[in-house]
Structure 1
Amino acid sequence: MTSDGRFLLRRGTLPEVAPEQLVDILTSACDVALVVSAEREVISVLVNPQMGIGAKVAHWQGAPLKSLLTPESWVKLEKRLGGGEMDTHRPMIVELTHSDAQSFQFPIRYAVSRTATDGAFLMVGHDLRPIAELQQQLVQAQLALERDYETQREMETRYRVLMEMSPAPLMIVSMSSGKIVDLNTGAAELIGAPRAELLDAAVAQEFDGRRRGEFLESLAKLSGTDPNGALELTVRRTRAKVLVSAGVFRAAGDRLLLCRIGLSETGKAQVNELADLAERLFSKGIDAVVFLDADGVVKSANESFLNLTDSNSLAMVVGRSFGDFLSRGTIDLRVILDNVKRVGHLRRYATRLNTDYYGQVSVELSATSFADRPDSGISLVIRDVSVTDTTRWPAEQPGNEGLRNVMQLVGYSTLRDIVAETTEIIEKMCIETALDLTGNNRVAAAELLSLSRQSLYVKLRKFGLLSKDGD
């Protein structure tokens, strides 16, 4: 019979089979076979000898089928038998669980078919215990994999903490490929590049005058002959003089070098001299220097900044938002932070600083981002341009004083108030000034002018500034 219930053999084409031979065929083809009467009593029980349960099911013959099944299985079987599925030529497939007084249970997948017109039916079944055991093994294997995964995550966390908490700059190098497998933050700072950029990079290229083979062989030889010895090398990026020592170990079939990097005496002298010069520039420089965190909060400032803002002490400055010192407040601060985060720096941004005694000072500031450090921040160099402020305005001409006054109002009044009594020429000049102040940042320019971005674009098209600055 095919899957759609059609018979391919005509009646009478199969030879007659003796009952004994039919029993052998059934017990060989299945695990359990039951012949059940219309009254749901077991007429005959056939069991595959390989199952080894012949003695446990011998009492099934003549017993009610209901007493041999769990309550859930009996309800399911009755529902299926009464559903009309037995009226077709196709056998009904159902999974049942046998149970008896000795708590002997096992699941069987039965194919149930009518055997005669008296309502009796044949149940040919296969033992599902091997499948259930396999499923249990799969569940156990999945649980074991999850435990191994959690253990691996724990070990990776411990490894990463040890790498980052180590006071020494550490780097792991593969001897087979010559590439950096891993390194901590201290090593990345000493080499002068972000950790992500150095991973999988050729280690020999980060130091001057060393080829890959020579570099690895020298470190491996040194680790075997003198574990406390080190090679003096020059870092290519920073030109720092460093000492590199190494130890060899194996992992995952590869030989690896655990390299410890430290400044040599020459390198320490260079760093100390550079740090001393930077400290002098910060403390005695005539330009104000301010360090901000990523949110624009002041972390440190030099004496020149305190003088510029008339602040009494550094304690009155540290911890405050830098926007408190800007005449346009958060608008100026947002322009500075957005440009620095986008391109890494900002040059000669013209604005005014508020002093502690309600005064204002015209300044130009430049900003640089320190995004490659774990505690990323921004440094500002601020120059007082109040003395030369007039050089940034148009030459004095009759009637030009009004233009200068209008341009100074940009950012302090709305565009509607500024141009209420002026012509379209003044409106165009204000938009051009806002674009210059923000480095052609149209979003920031719209904020300076208290315009929506859509309104600003309409005016840019009106005055032909889109083609000038690029759309």
Structure 2
Amino acid sequence: MTGSEHRIPSLAARESADNSETTDLERIVAAASDLALVLDASGVVTRVIVGGALSADAGVAGWEGRPIEETLVPEGRTKLIAAREALEAGRPLPSGLELTHVLGDGVERPMRYTMIPYGAGAMLLGRDQAGLAEQQRQLVDAQLTLERTYEAQREFDTRYRMLLRAVNDAVAFVSAGDGTIGDLNEPAAALLGGTREGLMGTRLAEALGDAAPDGLMDEIDRAATRDAREPVVAAADASGRGIAIAPQLFRAAGKRSYLCRLSDPDAEAGGAPGISADVSLLFERSTDAVVFATLSGEIATANEAFLDLVGAARLADLRGQNLAGFLGRGRVDLNVVAENARRAGTMRLYATRMVSELGAETPVEMSVTYLNDRTDPLLGLVIRDAARSEAVRAGPAPAAMESASSVMELVGSATLREIVAETTDVVEKMCIETAVQLTRNNRVAAAEMLGLSRQSLYVKLRKYGLLNYDPNET
């Protein structure tokens, strides 16, 4: 047997071993990836290995012998060129190379590859991202649906708020479970004797007070289920002022609630005939100035007497102007009357001065009423010219004469400086006490009213022992 005969089986065995190793490598690659592509140095696909996630007829069989760029979308070609340049330059390769292939039927297939050097070219080991892309698409769709739902909910909530504010009827939403007031409008808050913010979250029985009938929610439930739907009448306070509650049952988000329409049965039964016309006529012909303004001071309407007082020619000239511009102490006066009226409902005989458009000052006394039975609460002010009253009071003034006599008696027993200092202290203390009383112990407003800084006011309060003085406790 010749040497060549001995070599031939050896070469055949070696080729068989190489083919076996190649087959095993392909199996490993196929098991480790969904798709593996072997590229030569020019980027032509020399081998396609399909894993379990992609079938053999997925449209990739015809890629062998074609440049890989022809199988990619334009964005993917740029990424692949950059990765191959990094491979040739010896730079670190990207850990995840995301490419999107275009299959034979035009379907796009996203893949995530790991590129490794292989021979003169490279090998791309890819994982199919179609499932992840579908999940991402579903997530985006869900997010868009959630945003659209949120926008619709916000629009609905805005419409609900506007409707609740616009209606003149007193309306409250009450939970059927525990009787808690979920929401209400300003007219309902006025009937219940509170504010909308203060009543929300409280029980309806607590809002009605001690005069609420026993088993109020049971009565409301029976009234809501009766065909006649006769209202439940409760008393809002000890004075016996009645409130009629007409409930309507509904269910939302699995919870039962009542839409309660509140009303004053005595007012509905009818008051004095023609009262609206009489009040309107009184407003027009009253010798006292009457003006309605918002809580911020913007004038809504006024009568002729107010026009005369401020020297305005037409009501149209006053609408939109701020009432503080016609008050002697400006914003200080407005804040004092607005805060006290909002807190107590009314404020009586507040003394100040009105300044006309020409700068003329008139001493006045005003009474203020807080009107919150509407969407936007108003201040109703009745202003009376106090110039004549001051003149009458300034006529015979025995008290002033007695004060002057008592001061003159000090002459001889004290120096002029001591007499003036003592008299000044008395007047200063009286002025500070008066300012604190008018502002209901609001030290900032009192300082503005007296023309002092806040620090100077506290110094004088400490000087006269008024630092802990609270007129609300007296």
On whether the aligned pair clears a TM of 0.5, the verdict is: yes
Counterpart of 1:25, as a letter, is: I
Tell me how far 1:147 sits from its aligned partner.
2.1
User: 2:376 aligns to what?
Assistant: 375
> Residue deviations 1:33-67, cap 9 Å, x none?
01222232222110124423535111212222333
- 2-structure distance, mates of 1:67, 1:109: 17
Q: Does 1:63 align with 2:66?
A: yes
- 2-structure distance, mates of 1:141, 1:109: 25
Q: Does 1:333 align with 2:334?
A: no
Counterpart of 2:78, as a letter, is: V
Q: Percent identity?
A: 29
- 2-structure distance, mates of 1:93, 1:367: 75
- 2-structure distance, mates of 1:238, 1:157: 38
- 2-structure distance, mates of 1:154, 1:55: 48
User: 2:413 aligns to what?
Assistant: none
Match for residue 106 of structure 1 among 95, 106, 109: 109
User: 2:393 aligns to what?
Assistant: 388
The number of residues matched between the two structures is 417
Tell me how far 1:31 sits from its aligned partner.
1.0
Contact 1:240–1:267 (Cα < 8 Å) also in 2:
no
Counterpart of 2:83, as a letter, is: R
Counterpart of 2:175, as a letter, is: S
Unpaired segments of 5 or more residues in structure 1? 1-15, 401-422
User: Superposed, which structure 2 residues align to 1:37-436 within 5 Å?
Assistant: 37-52=40-55, 54=57, 56-83=59-86, 87=90, 92-99=95-102, 103-116=106-119, 119-166=120-167, 168-207=169-208, 209-210=211-212, 214-236=215-237, 239-264=240-265, 266-268=266-268, 290-299=291-300, 309=309, 319=319, 322=323, 326=327, 328=328, 332-343=329-340, 344=342, 349-353=350-354, 360-365=361-366, 367=368, 369-370=370-371, 373-380=374-381, 382=383, 384=386, 385-386=389-390, 387-389=392-394, 395-396=403-404
Counterpart of 1:82, as a letter, is: E
SS in 1 for 2:110: strand
Residues 1:431 and 1:34: Cα distance change in structure 2 (over 3 Å): farther
Residues 1:228 and 1:335: Cα distance change in structure 2 (over 3 Å): same
Contact 2:310–2:354 (Cα < 8 Å) also in 1:
no
Tell me which moved more, 364-373 or 23-32. 364-373
User: 1:24 aligns to what?
Assistant: 27
Tell me how far 1:433 sits from its aligned partner.
8.6
Contact 1:67–1:100 (Cα < 8 Å) also in 2:
no
Unpaired segments of 5 or more residues in structure 2? 1-18, 409-419, 437-441, 469-474
Structure of greater relative contact order (alpha carbons < 8 Å, 6+ residues apart): 2
- 1-structure distance, mates of 2:158, 2:30: 58
- 2-structure distance, mates of 1:129, 1:334: 68
- 1-structure distance, mates of 2:447, 2:315: 34
Contact 1:97–1:108 (Cα < 8 Å) also in 2:
yes
TM-score, normalization: structure 1? 0.69
Counterpart of 2:249, as a letter, is: V
- 1-structure distance, mates of 2:211, 2:448: 53
- 1-structure distance, mates of 2:375, 2:286: 27
Residues 1:46 and 1:167: Cα distance change in structure 2 (over 3 Å): same
Contact 2:190–2:372 (Cα < 8 Å) also in 1:
no
- 2-structure distance, mates of 1:358, 1:147: 58
SS in 2 for 1:176: coil
Counterpart of 2:219, as a letter, is: S
Contact 1:349–1:437 (Cα < 8 Å) also in 2:
no
SS in 1 for 2:202: coil
Tell me how far 1:111 sits from its aligned partner.
0.7
- 2-structure distance, mates of 1:323, 1:315: 17
Tell me how far 1:219 sits from its aligned partner.
2.4
- 2-structure distance, mates of 1:447, 1:244: 45
Residues 1:146 and 1:271: Cα distance change in structure 2 (over 3 Å): farther
Tell me how far 1:32 sits from its aligned partner.
0.4
SS in 2 for 1:388: helix
Residues 1:260 and 1:365: Cα distance change in structure 2 (over 3 Å): closer
Q: Does 1:34 align with 2:37?
A: yes
Counterpart of 1:229, as a letter, is: E
- 1-structure distance, mates of 2:445, 2:223: 59
Contact 2:310–2:357 (Cα < 8 Å) also in 1:
yes
- 2-structure distance, mates of 1:231, 1:32: 76
TM-score, normalization: structure 2? 0.69
Residues 1:335 and 1:190: Cα distance change in structure 2 (over 3 Å): same
Residues 1:431 and 1:79: Cα distance change in structure 2 (over 3 Å): farther
